[in-house]
Structure 1
Amino acid sequence: MPIDFLLELLEDVRRGAGHSFSGIGVLVSDDPDGLPIVPLRPLASTPTFGSTRELLIAVSNKAHELHDGFHIMSSDLCIVRFSQYFSPSIVPGLVADPARRRGGRYMAAMFGSTLRNVVVSGVASADYGVAVFEGGREVRAA
């Protein structure tokens, strides 16, 4: 899983969503059943049109029903679940970069990237930009 590709994808989503960008969190996992997730919108219709990039831009609009939570992608970057509440355990000793403005998604992505069934995680925010995590470390930021 190329880290640079995920970083570019998240930056494209951030730019593509424009002024109505709600922020985004993604988890790359080939075992989503083993993740501490629950759907935030179980009755929402799931979009099936377009590329992963186009889908993520569409659902990252504040007005879209699926804008909240984390989206789960397989390692080939196909979206397998939209809008999931993700609640990983706090990992003692992990410290986020104090210079970055952090929110709940940022911290969940950082802690969640330590899970054995998470290949990599990433977040994008209008406030703090893009961050990608692997093994509890922020490996790339934009």
Structure 2
Amino acid sequence: MKNYKLTEVIDLVITANTPNFTGLGLIIYKKSDCLPIESINDDCLLENSLVGIEDIGKKLIEVSKKDNICHDGFHLLNERFELTALCHYFSTPISQIVKPLRKKGSRYRTAFYGSLLDNVLCTVSISSYFEVFIFINGKEYTLDEYKML
């Protein structure tokens, strides 16, 4: 599942090279009501979904700054690639069978394990220093590897 919109949004986020960037996590899902998620901050609710790549990129850059109250948690995009929610806690089960490749932090591990869930198409972890990992069914890709799919 290669999504060109996903690579475009990620490119916008990392090339912005925003000062005070906290990193971010993304969930691209089929049905949100089946996900183990909860809003972290009700002040971060979106009035309407964002659909344009530029608008989505700008919003993700804006909310990923240290001083933004919505910087924490994962942000959600549906299978039509509309940004539907910001700042969600994502509580994923830990697989005893499949393990992540790297010894990285919570966002990386949550994205990895979250990619194993039935209603998740893929997850993304971008670190505070713009290191990108994309996960599909527990398979890890760097941004360059994903672009070559």
TM-score by length of 1: 0.86
Does the 8 Å contact 1:13/1:60 carry over to 2? no
2:29 aligns to what? 29
Taking every aligned residue pair, what percent have the same amino acid on both sides?
A: 28
Corresponding residue of 1:133: 135
Question: Within 2, Cα distance between the matches of 1:86 and 1:113?
Answer: 11
8 Å CA contact retained: 1:7, 1:140: no
2:104 is aligned, of 102, 105, 117, to: 102
Deviation at 1:33, TM superposition (A): 1.0
Q: CA deviation at 1:121?
A: 0.5
> Following the alignment from structure 1 to structure 2, what is the Cα–Cα distance between the partners of residues 82 and 133?
19
Consecutive unaligned residues of structure 1, counting only runs of 5 or more, are none
Report how many residues are paired: 140
Equivalent position of 1:51 in the other structure? 55
Q: What is the distance in 2 between the residues matched to 1:96 and 1:8? A: 25
Task: Flag the 1:103–1:91 CA change in 2: closer, same or farther, 3 A.
Answer: same
Structure 1 residues 140 and 5, CA gap change in structure 2 (3 angstroms)? farther
Q: Which residue of 2 aligns with 1:81?
A: 85
Cα deviations by residue, 1:27-64 (Å, 9 ceiling, x for unpaired): 00121111000000013453768611111111111111
